[in-house]
Structure 1
Amino acid sequence: MTSQKSLDAYVDEVRQLHAALRPAGIPAEPRYPAGLITIPAHVSHWAAERPDLLALALGDSRYTYAELDEIHRRVATWMSQHGVRRGDRVAIYLGNSVEFAIAFLAVLRLGAVHVPVNPMFQPAELAYELLDSEPVLIVTNSALSEVIEACEDRVPEIPVLLTDGTGELSWQSAVAAEPYAGDDGDLDSLAALNYTGGTTGMPKGCQHTQGHMLYTVASAATATEMAYDGDYVSLCYLPIFWIAGEDLGILIPFVLGGTSILMSRWNAGEAVDLIERYRVTLMTGTVENYLELMDTQDLASRDLSSLVDPQAVSFVRKMTPEVRRRWAELVPGSVLRESSYGMTETHTIDCVPYGFAENDFDLLSEPVFCGVPVPGTDIAVVELGTQNPVPLGEVGEIIVRSPSVTDGYWRNEEATREQLVDGWIHTGDNGRIDEQGFLHYLGRRKEMIKVNGMSVFPADVEMLLTQHPAVDSVAVVPTEDPETGQRPVAFVVPREGTDVTAEELTAWARDNMATYKVPLVAVLDALPMTATGKVRKNELAGDAAALNTVQPS
């Protein structure tokens, strides 16, 4: 059996390859623009250095660094007065908004734990996450509070701070408090539970610290030459409850002393206006977003020259040399590239293809080209379920070690032991490191389904459906869909003595699940099983494809 020393030797070899591959001028270790201080302390630092610089904007709501520093301190005081203590969880159940970002900073200043909650969640999903994280406070708005009320029979009463309400439990009251004087957070304590799905069980809370957040920004900024001088401006319409949106819309701009321009949702015309108005330097969107910009907006007549590093994510449509060429013709000097390889467990930015676009080297290499790890991160490819590295060029499981790897899964020791081994996170992804040292992603071993870029895990949908009183067992498999990329298909066996239809289950799913998770449904007498009691999901794949041709979207 290969020894651990073999992995160490492998890592040393790969590090040398990466050092030679990195674009000129990019160091092997990350740079920290304001030092090793907390995320709220960065806002205070820039408030002293750049008080009048725009820090955060969405629509007509705009905050300079001086204003952002003051308002998040006021909200921190209000939270403290209402019982939030160090280590307590605070759920932020909002869409993209300035209140989300301000509450995030307030929670971290108190040394409490940020729990971002998907605003598309419906009662069954919301109840699970609230019961698992046990927050002492929920920050939300009036519309979403109705979903919380629908969970009252399943979840103990939790105080709610309404961003659009009145009275003592309102944002108006919170921002009237005196500014919080201290900073009770640190770089090493639990600071966030970022929930991610899995192939077994319900979503798990990835434990992250402020140190993880800070390293993510510093390493990504160093790897891609982001500006520290106040010129960095990000445009973020990605949901900031996603950890990728958190990075783009909150952490990167505030750590770099730049500007975060948020959008509540994607709109091509608005995006062009904002890029031009605020001199946006970085935007991350799907390939479809960029195609829409090119097809519907007169980009050649607009000044988008500030957008030096536009990044695309290939979900349904893929990045190609043709897409890049069209973009370059319309926005001269702007090179469109794939974003990064990463996962929630590592805070998402582990490996970047930055600097390898010449002659479309990145796009013409064997898919999917991920480039090289960011400074300070190690990536290895090993035999599945082991720490034994495979030779360069061979396929195995990607594992990652970095200062931003999760400390573990919240209250789930079994999952922590399975995926976190000697500081390495086992991703469950197929990949290979080629002879030059570049990482290639070859697909997930996990049974993940991508619906318009949103991750849908079969086990999540299966367990949600089993909450229906008429459901005995269920198996969920993916099927390809020309509109959304993929769709989940649920094969359901009803409980004995019940008579439930696919239409009834679909209606229940729409009431209890986020829209992108709602499956196509088929009702069966029994599921095909192996001799050891496992569902033969491969036998359901053909039926799933046929079902998708006859059922309406």
Structure 2
Amino acid sequence: MENKPWLKHYPPQIPHTLTFEETSLQQLLKNTAEKYPNKIAIHFNGKELSYQELYDSALKFAGYLQKIGIQKGDRVAIMLPNTPQSVISFYGVMMAGGIVVQTNPMYTERELAFQMKDSGAKAIVALDILFPRIKKIQGETELEHIIITVIKDYLPFPKNLVYPFIQKKQYGFSVKVEHKGNDHLFTEIMKHPALQEPIMNINFEEDLAILQYTGGTTGFPKGVMLTHKNLIANTKMCQAWLYKCREGEEIVLGALPFFHVYGMTTVMILSILQASKMVLIPKPDPEVLLKTIQSQRPTMFPGAPTMYIGMLNHPELSKYDLSSIDSCISGSAPLPVEVQEQFERLTGGKLVEGYGLTESSPVTHANLLWDGERVKGSIGLPWPDTLAEIRSVETGEPLPVGEIGELVVKGPQVMKGYWNRPEETQEVLKDGWLHTGDMGYMDEEGYFYIVDRKKDMIIASGYNIYPREIEEVLYEHPAVKEVVVAGVPDPYRGETVKAYIVLKEGTTVTEDELNKFARKNLAAYKVPRKYEFRDELPKTTVGKILRRQLVEEEKRKLNELNEKKA
């Protein structure tokens, strides 16, 4: 307990350590299908699949993959939004012995080509509209097979008839793919016999379940090797943390994309572990979220801050009943305190901030939802079986309580390493400790706080400035909807603080007014010297604001200005 002060805050329902059965992700689906065969596993735009139907479909997919030559250890890419096909493919690949390579459907040809070459994927499952993009890069890769599906394949009547017209209007084109040669149609695959003996016995510790690529905000994306143990351990930790959730009774809002490890673990795998119904949302814009919550009455809503912010700022928010929401863990970006409090008042449920990385499957910390103290601005406590320390960036030694250093974590959810990158693996994995690159501190009670990314820290006139602190202050201004703070080049200070602001609809505020507001709450050297008002901020598909993209824009502008002067 001396080195783990956080354990004293655990309510009796959360064990300090867990037992992990040596099994596989596909076995978890089999277990749930046997126990709850008729329970609804997936709801998608009115179409529903039971756990038995989901399991049988995954077996068919697995059988077909083996028929076309996929063997144990082969990589198969899945490039789909949240649809029934994405869940079927995920488990089907593993039943066939393959390793899933989750791929963002928004990737450009260049990004897609890099990931396919790096992973060595032999097959890819994708939407019809992505077929031309894949075909263009196929020759540069080891891709032998392209499996195509269409959104309408899992839509109920009459939506399945109407959808092709909506799609053509939305994208301006339609794609016709034939089931022949090495191009395959998902609907035809589902007509084939199921695999009789799926691969269930795997090496729990060593066998990879997925290659999950990091965002690549610095350099090229890296394939994070996550084993069955990594993902099952993290899902079991999540289950322990959410101890009031009832097996077979929860309805989970599947708004986080499954091609991101956060959505994969906290929505898809957790739902299957505890026999929940997943309500899948391929495109989680605020209005769709509000309508879905009102009609489907989900009890759990793992999300990202931008999702909650978008809903809270919807002009017709008062029309919707969100009272079914019991529990939400927010991740992938810092959760502003004001957003947390407002969302809890609105729903009557609990919304807490968690923390994690792709390299840790992903969650390592979270605040307590029900019993025990929640600390504002904190990422909470380490999860069961998870160790955490704050270490000096200079010496690597553990730092005393309250001092800022790099957060390092250790536990069964920490990755095996980066795919084909032993040197980069050694840089971040040392004696089993994952060096997160995030700067933070621990208080006397064992609660952890992130002040910022090591790389995002601003050094202006010799002062260390952490953007998150400034963002928290600006979020308190009644006109501010979204804000991101970044360090931009400055000839005098080296770097200076710039705030990019999106205003709430119908509000106005001047730069001078924001400046006065900031000065009341921040030391003078932390106050933004520049403000830029925007209609929107650049984001990832999970809703994380791309701070580095804004910094790169500033550098380009400066270079162009210098070239003109020269």
Aligned equivalents of 1:249 and 1:355: distance in 2? Answer: 17
Match of 2:141 among 155, 159, 169: 155
Secondary structure of the structure 1 residue equivalent to 2:307: helix
Match of 1:443 among 435, 452, 459: 452
Paired AA for residue 422 in structure 2: E
Mapping 1:423-502, distance limit 5 Å: 423-446=432-455, 480-483=499-502
Which residue of 1 is the match for residue 179 of structure 2? 167
Which residue of 2 is the match for residue 98 of structure 1? 84
Aligned equivalents of 2:129 and 2:219: distance in 1? Answer: 29
Aligned equivalents of 2:216 and 2:319: distance in 1? Answer: 46
Query: In the alignment, is residue 235 of structure 1 matched against residue 253 of structure 2?
Result: yes
Paired AA for residue 119 in structure 1: P
Aligned equivalents of 1:433 and 1:356: distance in 2? Answer: 22
| Alignment check: 8 A CA contact 2:123 2:143 kept | no
Which residue of 1 is the match for residue 160 of structure 2? none
| CA deviation profile, 1:337-389 (whole Å, cap 9, x unmatched) | 22x11000001111001248989x522xxx4x011111111111112265521
Match of 1:308 among 326, 347, 350: 326
Match of 1:138 among 124, 127, 139: 124
Report the alpha carbon displacement of residue 149 of structure 1 after superposing the two structures with TM.
2.1
Aligned equivalents of 1:522 and 1:201: distance in 2? Answer: 13
Which residue of 2 is the match for residue 362 of structure 1? 375
Report the alpha carbon displacement of residue 179 of structure 1 after superposing the two structures with TM.
1.5
Query: In the alignment, is residue 395 of structure 1 matched against residue 404 of structure 2?
Result: yes
Q: CA 1:151–1:386 in structure 2 vs 1: closer, same or farther (change >3 Å)?
A: farther
Aligned equivalents of 2:95 and 2:313: distance in 1? Answer: 44
Q: CA 1:430–1:292 in structure 2 vs 1: closer, same or farther (change >3 Å)?
A: closer
Paired AA for residue 13 in structure 1: E
Aligned equivalents of 2:179 and 2:305: distance in 1? Answer: 44
What count of residue pairs does the alignment treat as equivalent?
462
Paired AA for residue 3 in structure 2: V
Mapping 1:1-20, distance limit 5 Å: 13-15=2-4, 17-20=5-8
Match of 1:213 among 224, 231, 246: 231
| CA deviation profile, 1:464-517 (whole Å, cap 9, x unmatched) | xxxxxxxxxxxxx99753249xxxxxxxxxxxxxxxxxxxxxxxxxxxxxx998
Q: CA 1:479–1:61 in structure 2 vs 1: closer, same or farther (change >3 Å)?
A: farther
| CA deviation profile, 1:31-89 (whole Å, cap 9, x unmatched) | 66xx5432221221111111111111221332110100100000000001011111000
| CA deviation profile, 1:217-274 (whole Å, cap 9, x unmatched) | 1001102325242112211222211111111331110111112111011133432343
Match of 2:361 among 347, 358, 372: 347
Report the alpha carbon displacement of residue 101 of structure 1 after superposing the two structures with TM.
1.1
Which residue of 2 is the match for residue 202 of structure 1? 220
Aligned equivalents of 1:521 and 1:350: distance in 2? Answer: 28
Query: In the alignment, is residue 21 of structure 1 matched against residue 39 of structure 2?
Result: no
Query: In the alignment, is residue 296 of structure 1 matched against residue 314 of structure 2?
Result: yes
Aligned equivalents of 1:183 and 1:426: distance in 2? Answer: 37
Which residue of 2 is the match for residue 41 of structure 1? 27
Secondary structure of the structure 1 residue equivalent to 2:3: helix
Secondary structure of the structure 1 residue equivalent to 2:412: coil
| Alignment check: 8 A CA contact 1:328 1:336 kept | yes
Which residue of 2 is the match for residue 336 of structure 1? 351
Q: CA 1:436–1:306 in structure 2 vs 1: closer, same or farther (change >3 Å)?
A: same
Q: CA 1:519–1:374 in structure 2 vs 1: closer, same or farther (change >3 Å)?
A: closer
Secondary structure of the structure 2 residue equivalent to 1:282: coil
Which residue of 1 is the match for residue 286 of structure 2? 268
Report the alpha carbon displacement of residue 443 of structure 1 after superposing the two structures with TM.
0.8
Match of 2:336 among 314, 319, 328: 319
CA root-mean-square deviation: 3.7
| Alignment check: 8 A CA contact 1:29 1:219 kept | no
Gaps of 5+ in 1: 1-11, 459-476, 485-514, 524-536, 548-553
| Alignment check: 8 A CA contact 1:478 1:544 kept | no
Q: CA 1:113–1:226 in structure 2 vs 1: closer, same or farther (change >3 Å)?
A: farther
Aligned equivalents of 1:268 and 1:223: distance in 2? Answer: 27
Query: In the alignment, is residue 418 of structure 1 matched against residue 427 of structure 2?
Result: yes
Report the more deviating stretch, 377-386 or 231-240. Answer: 377-386
Aligned equivalents of 1:144 and 1:166: distance in 2? Answer: 14
Q: CA 1:56–1:138 in structure 2 vs 1: closer, same or farther (change >3 Å)?
A: same
| CA deviation profile, 1:252-306 (whole Å, cap 9, x unmatched) | 1011111211101113343234334433121133444334434437666655433
Report the alpha carbon displacement of residue 314 of structure 1 after superposing the two structures with TM.
7.9
Paired AA for residue 435 in structure 1: E
| Alignment check: 8 A CA contact 2:299 2:324 kept | yes
| Alignment check: 8 A CA contact 1:61 1:98 kept | no
Which residue of 2 is the match for residue 79 of structure 1? 65
Which residue of 2 is the match for residue 116 of structure 1? 102
Aligned equivalents of 1:90 and 1:253: distance in 2? Answer: 23
Percent same amino acid at aligned positions?
25
Q: TM-score, normalised by structure 2?
A: 0.73
Paired AA for residue 92 in structure 2: A
Aligned equivalents of 1:246 and 1:545: distance in 2? Answer: 42
| Alignment check: 8 A CA contact 2:403 2:442 kept | yes
Q: CA 1:110–1:372 in structure 2 vs 1: closer, same or farther (change >3 Å)?
A: same
| Alignment check: 8 A CA contact 1:80 1:110 kept | yes
Which residue of 1 is the match for residue 299 of structure 2? 281
Report the alpha carbon displacement of residue 319 of structure 1 after superposing the two structures with TM.
2.3
| Alignment check: 8 A CA contact 1:74 1:177 kept | yes
Report the alpha carbon displacement of residue 209 of structure 1 after superposing the two structures with TM.
0.9
Aligned equivalents of 2:269 and 2:98: distance in 1? Answer: 17
Aligned equivalents of 2:232 and 2:84: distance in 1? Answer: 21
Q: CA 1:272–1:546 in structure 2 vs 1: closer, same or farther (change >3 Å)?
A: farther
| Alignment check: 8 A CA contact 1:191 1:208 kept | yes
Secondary structure of the structure 2 residue equivalent to 1:425: strand
Secondary structure of the structure 2 residue equivalent to 1:482: strand
Aligned equivalents of 2:109 and 2:309: distance in 1? Answer: 35
Aligned equivalents of 1:482 and 1:161: distance in 2? Answer: 42
Paired AA for residue 77 in structure 1: G
Gaps of 5+ in 2: 151-176, 458-466, 469-480, 488-495, 504-543
Q: CA 1:226–1:418 in structure 2 vs 1: closer, same or farther (change >3 Å)?
A: farther
Report the alpha carbon displacement of residue 191 of structure 1 after superposing the two structures with TM.
1.4
Aligned equivalents of 1:214 and 1:227: distance in 2? Answer: 18
Secondary structure of the structure 2 residue equivalent to 1:341: strand
